[in-house]
Amino acid sequence: MVIGAGAFGGWTAWHLARRGARVALVDAWGAGNPRGTSSGEARILRFSYGEKSLYSEWTYRAREIWRACEAEWGLQDAPLFTACGMLWIWREESAHYRASAAALDRLREPWERLDAREVMRRFPQVAMHAGEFALYEPGSGFVRAQRATQAVAQQVARLGGSVRAGMAQPPAGEASRLESVRVSHGDGGLEELRAGAFVFCCGPWLPQLFPSLLGRRIVVTRQDVFYFGAPAGDERFDAPQLPSWADYDTEFYGTPGCDVSAFKLASNEGVPGFDPTNGERVTSADTLAAARAYLARRFPAMARAPLVRTRVCQYERTPDSHIVLDRHPEWENVWMAGGGSGHGFKFGPALGEFLAGLVLEGGREKIPAPLRLGAIAHPESGELRPRGAY
């Protein structure tokens, strides 16, 4: 039983089913629903992670899986991944920059260092300033997130899995194994589901299900996202003319327009304490003002562009932006994965492959130490802006 049909849970269920396991995939509102962290139109796929090169490696593997599944599922005419490139904007050659470049070299993933003049020559939509430069990843781009999440759940069903809606209740038990989980339905009914193994990948609801384990490890923040409309017939701000991009120092990032999305602009900063179930998803005037000010600076031709859509999603932040992936300390047949900190969607296929192997074969010792439950928790006055979370 896999609880949560987002990028982590959906891909874990798919890999399990593909390897012959009988799988039930349960999600409170269904794959790709607007409350889920894996909803939204487009999510960046990029490789630069500084010293956290594990995620560079997982993204490399994930891109292979994205492309293979597009072909296998007959989605060539409606691709999930678009390789429009990724532009990282920097003000100094920090340790994070150097480690990112080194990881790209190890993966033999192409990249270039572009000075401000060269960025503006290739991408005249982007205004660069004195002293700035960019790391350009031509093989990166974006994934159509909601469409992809729904496609994965459909493929789980085609492999014989049971895909159903329902809200998992906090598990309880005193033995070394969990025998069942209760799932509530909209009509007030409760269903008890039994399984040999349970995998909890329920994003912002993980701290609610496991408060003693994750209540201080994962903090849920509200993230305002804005979509701006380019002038009619102006394709300069659409893929592939414009790459995905992120400004390391200001923490603004975005994706170009495409068939499912207008020009996207958002900040990596967020407001802690968001309720993913009942929280009102209305963007604030302050974050819109900040987005417009940045838009005018970095993309001056879009300074007066109309706001055509807004979205409020959430991050599940950890103190160091490492994900949480581990087996439950008391129940040997319970696994969990979450805390994507805004960057987990892209490598969901690789994480699901890794986690499915743990569920079927064991081997907790294979989990890197920073991902395990014993890693650091948020202090009471927790720092909620881990770098590189985009």
- pLDDT score for 174: 84
Q: Give whole-number Cα distances, 2 to 77, 239, 339, 382, in Å.
A: 30, 35, 16, 30
What is the C-alpha to C-alpha distance for residues 10 and 156, in angstroms, rounded to an integer?
8
What is the C-alpha to C-alpha distance for residues 292 and 298, in angstroms, rounded to an integer?
10
Sequence spans of domains, the chain: 2-371
Kindly give the parts of the chain with pLDDT less than 50.
381-390
- pLDDT score for 380: 56
Query: Which CATH topology does 2-371 take?
Result: D-Amino Acid Oxidase; Chain A, domain 2 (3.30.9)
Structure-token pair, residue 331:
């129940």
pTM of the model: 0.95
* CB of 172 closer than 8 Å to CB of 211: no
- pLDDT score for 390: 42
DSSP run (H or E) holding 73 = none
